Amino acid sequence: MDIQKVHFSMLYTVYLICFMTWLPNSLLVYFWNNLYNNFLCTYLDCPQRRRFIAELRLRGNFEYNSKALHSDADLVVARKINNIPKSKYTVCPKCKIFITKPALRRHYRNCYENIQSGTNRGILSNSKALFNYVHPLANEILKTCILSSMRDDVIFSLIKYDKLLVVYGNAMCMKYRSRHHYDMIKNRLRIMGRFLQVAKSVNPAIDDFASLYQPPIFDTIIEVLHQFGNYDKISGYYEKPTLPSTIGTALKYIANLYIMECIKSRDEKQKKDVEDVLVLLKTGLQGPVNKTAAESLLHQKRQKKEVLPLTEDVRKLNAYITSNQQKYYEEI
């Protein structure tokens, strides 16, 4: 994000964006009056007219900034602060004005569009849901409830722009519809995003998650799974045995989703490659990953120290149970 691509645009200075023509103009009121007949039919000093003009100004800027086609274009903001990059700006979920993230809560308390009183929880999540560039295939639940509340970092960027991970997120949103499952969906997406990040660092030929489903990349998948499990070559055990098996199961599930997408697009060549990788995942992960993970879990259970009760405590418990047993037996 370039600092020079943030432009200052107060309501009465510099330029704003017309939401009808997508053209920048410094005098939008005169521009609208000259371009559209009967655009404003109220008298000049009417409060409704001023409010209507302010809403149109903010609407034009918001639609300009939020369009995916203009994601690399200049960002029109309310106030430009020196040395603040484009990524530090966000949108108010009420009035749709673009300000810096640290100033959002202070602005939200005094926002004239904020009809709620008292709480300002979830402001950043609502803001990200309004102004959040994601893949077009993402459904509404994934955009507004899952991705909007995830931490904005490198892994999040890999997730929201990757087609296959978005399809995976859509499938989980349709499968787990209850709101208490949203944290689980976010955790699974982040795990697969981390997997993609490590795979790209191991093999530069991997560009996106779909690149993993090539038969020559299968050895890279095994290597990355060993890294996630902290595989010890000497002992032959994982330090974290649950994670490799969980990722392996998710890779098989995503492979089936990828086959569905290939069928929809009639891509027979890619469909054949994904089916071959799916066979490799079903057979090739059983020994090096799944069996190793099961043995590692069993080894950890054996090595885990369990504190046993004292012999005297066991005797007291036995005496107490025996006395109560005899007592209640006599009452019967």
Tens of pLDDT, residues 132-175: 667 888 888 888 888 888 887 889 889 988 999 999 999 999 99
Mean pLDDT (the chain) is 79
Between β-strands 75-77 and 6-8, what pairing exists: parallel, antiparallel or unpaired?
parallel
Could you give the CA distance from residue 227 to residue 1 in angstroms, rounded to a whole number? 32
CA distances from 260 to 9, 23, 93, 256, 263 (A): 47, 42, 36, 6, 5
Query: What DSSP string describes 115-169?
Result: ---S--TTHHHHHHHHS----TT--HHIIIIIGGGS--SHHHHHHHH-HHHHHHH
Higher pLDDT, 281 or 40: 281
The predicted pLDDT at position 17 comes to 56
Quick one: tokens of 289? 């990953």
Quick one: tokens of 234? 């000497």
The b-or-e profile of 300-317 (16+ CB within 10 A means b, else e) is eeeeeeeeeeeeeeeeee
Tens of pLDDT, residues 78-130: 666 666 776 777 777 777 777 777 777 777 777 755 555 445 666 777 777 66
User: For the chain, how many helices (H) and strands (E)?
Assistant: 13, 8
Q: From the centroid of its chain, how far is CA 77?
A: 25
What confidence category does residue 13 fall into, taking pLDDT thresholds of 50, 70 and 90?
Answer: very low
Higher pLDDT, 126 or 215: 215
Q: From the centroid of its chain, how far is CA 27?
A: 39
H or E, element range at 297: helix 292-303
Q: What angle do CA 17, 105, 62 make, to 5 degrees?
A: 15
| Three-state SS at 39 | coil
User: Is residue 193 scored above 90 in pLDDT?
Assistant: yes
Could you give the CA distance from residue 219 to residue 221 in angstroms, rounded to a whole number? 5
Q: Where are the domains of the chain?
A: 3-127
Quick one: tokens of 319? 């005496």
The predicted pLDDT at position 106 comes to 77
| Three-state SS at 90 | strand
Contacts of 14 (CB under 8 A, 6+ apart): 7, 8, 26
Could you give the CA distance from residue 19 to residue 53 in angstroms, rounded to a whole number? 12
- Supply φ then ψ for residue 116, to 5 degrees: -80, 155
Between β-strands 6-8 and 24-25, what pairing exists: parallel, antiparallel or unpaired?
unpaired
Beta bridge partners of 293: none
Q: Which residue is it, tokens 């066991």?
A: 314
H or E, element range at 75: strand 75-77
